[in-house]
Amino acid sequence: MRIAIGADHAGFQLKEALIKGVLAPYEVLDLGTHSPHEPVDYPEYAFAVAEAVAGERAEYGILVCGTGIGMAMAAARIPGIRAATCTNVFMARMARAHNNANVLCLGGRVLGIGLAEEIVRVFLTTPFEGGRHARRLALIFGGPQRRG
C-alpha cells in the first residue's frame, strides 16, 4: 500500500518521525516540504498529496501542518478527497469507519509522536463500514442518494 505524505514547516518534524517509524512498512511518497527552516505555504502540499490520492498514485494521504486544520481545508477542495483532522485514536477510527476518509490531517504543534503514530496506525488499518454511512457520504459528495 502506498501512502502520500506532505507537511509544511510546522509539520516537517512529525512527518519525518512518521516516515521513519509507523510508516516504515509502507511505500511512502514524500511530497515535501524537506526542511523545517524555510516557511512554506501549506496549501501547496495539501494539493500535492490530495491530487496523488485522487489520481490513485496513493491509497491514502497524510498531511501535517501546525494544527491539521489548514491542510484539511485545502485538501477537501480536491474532488474525491475526504480529509479528516484527527487529534485522538477514536477520531481516527471513526474517520475511516464512518466517513471513509482518505486523507488524514495531523497537527505537528498539537500531537506528540507516540499519539500521532497510534492515530496513523488506526487510520491505516480501520475499514469503512459502508451501509448507512455510504448513504450519508453520498448526500455530501454525490451518488444515487444525492440531495437536489
Question: Contact residues for ligand RB5 (CB under 6 A)?
Answer: 8, 10, 42, 65-67, 69-70
Catalytic residue among 9, 37, 86, 98: 98
User: Kind and range of the H or E element at 63?
Assistant: strand 60-65
Whichever of 61 and 70 has its CB closer to ligand RB5, that residue is 70
Between strands 103-107 and 60-65, the pairing is parallel
Q: Which of 63, 1, 54 has its CA nearest to residue 27?
A: 1
Catalytic residue among 9, 65, 86, 105: 65
Burial class (CB in 10 A: 0-12, 13-18, 19+), 70: buried
Whichever of 67 and 99 has its CB closer to ligand RB5, that residue is 67
As measured in angstroms, the least distance from the Cβ of 80 to ligand RB5 is 22
As measured in angstroms, the least distance from the Cβ of 42 to ligand RB5 is 5
d(CA 2, CA 103): 13
Whichever of 34 and 146 has its CB closer to ligand RB5, that residue is 34
| 98 part of the active site | yes
Active-site residue set: 65, 98
